[in-house]
Amino acid sequence: MQKRVLGKSGLEVSAIGLGCMGMSFSYGPPKDKREMISLIRAAVERGVTFFDTAEVYGPFTNEELVGEALAPLRDQVVIATKFGFDTGVDPRAMKGGGPVLNSCPEHVREVAEASLKRLRVEVIDLFYQHRVDPQVPIEDVAGAVQELIKEGKVKHFGLSEAGIETVRRAHGVQKVAAVQNEYSLWFRRPEEGLLQALEELGIGLVAYSPLGKGFLTGKIDESTTFDSTDFRTTLPRFSPAARKANQALVDLLGRIGNQKHATPAQIALSWLLAQRRWIVPIPGTTMLERLDENIGAVALELTSSELQEIEQAAAKIKIEGARYPEKLEQMTGR
């Protein structure tokens, strides 16, 4: 497995990480715990060193899963988790009125202490603010994490879906190692200034949903049905009409994949890896077969002409449907 360093932080991780959320949360009922522990450990055996979770996934159960799975392998891995939601509120509210944010410094500390226990670690490798809390100045949030770093409870500070100015302000208080943002061929907003700012500041990008929440794998079409507990049932981009319209992008990936003897998912991940050397995608999966497929993208190198072909073809495809309901979208880019 190739390695990458997130910006100038010195934080080295595998070129592809593993997003663990879907094992416990959002994509239908929670998966079998023993099977998911085996999958996480299989990822380590294959060279994956970067694992992503959050207290709100479950809530709590995903951190507990990741902690149990990686406890015997702690010295081989980097674990990222997140704070910023009030987990006293049912997370299923995310489907309705939206989750309640809380990044008050005292709450940040409470979450860190609880996450340390659930993850079975003495220090959190990368601690993200999950969403920017407009009620708390980002300088106060960065200062709270800075204190945790000084105490040896956190190694690196991160932000998720933060606006460029917020990233700059936070970075001025406590160096930001990574910004986590959705980024893929079907969501390219980071190219509109964020990537340039991160390059300037020496901050890495961790790309979540690099496969478009499964759509870019080619395994989903307009006729696919989702479990009632699957978060995608609430997303405009996953309406049957949007899926039908956006199939053109998957067809493009399939055409390039046929030329390279690769799957659409591998082309999507390879394209992302080619954008910047400090970008690390964290595709999620609950299947060993898909884990191996995703890891295979690291060895797949797209030529400059192939990348240009993808760019030219993708430019002609208009992606239909918002990625989030309005209230959740309002929590991004602040």
Q: How many angstroms separate the Cα of 263 from the Cα of each of 98, 240, 266?
A: 35, 23, 5
CA contacts within 13 A on the Cβ side of 294: 29
- Both structure tokens of 197: 């700012």
Who contacts 151 (Cβ-Cβ below 8 Å, separation ≥6)? none
Report yes or no: 129 and 82 within 8 Å, Cβ to Cβ. Answer: yes
| Helix 33-45 × helix 61-70 angle, to 10° | 50
Give the up-direction half-sphere exposure of residue 244: CA atoms within 13 A in the CB hemisphere. 5
Which single residue is written with the structure tokens 């959740």? Answer: 328
Which residues are designated catalytic?
Answer: 57
Structure tokens at 218: 């080619």
| DSSP, residue by residue, 155-218 | EEEEEES--HHHHHHHHHHS-EEEEEEE-BTTB-GGGTTHHHHHHHHT-EEEEESTTGGGGGGT
Sequence letter at residue 67: G
Please tell me whether residue 225 adopts helix, strand or coil conformation.
coil
| CA contacts within 13 A on the Cβ side of 19 | 26
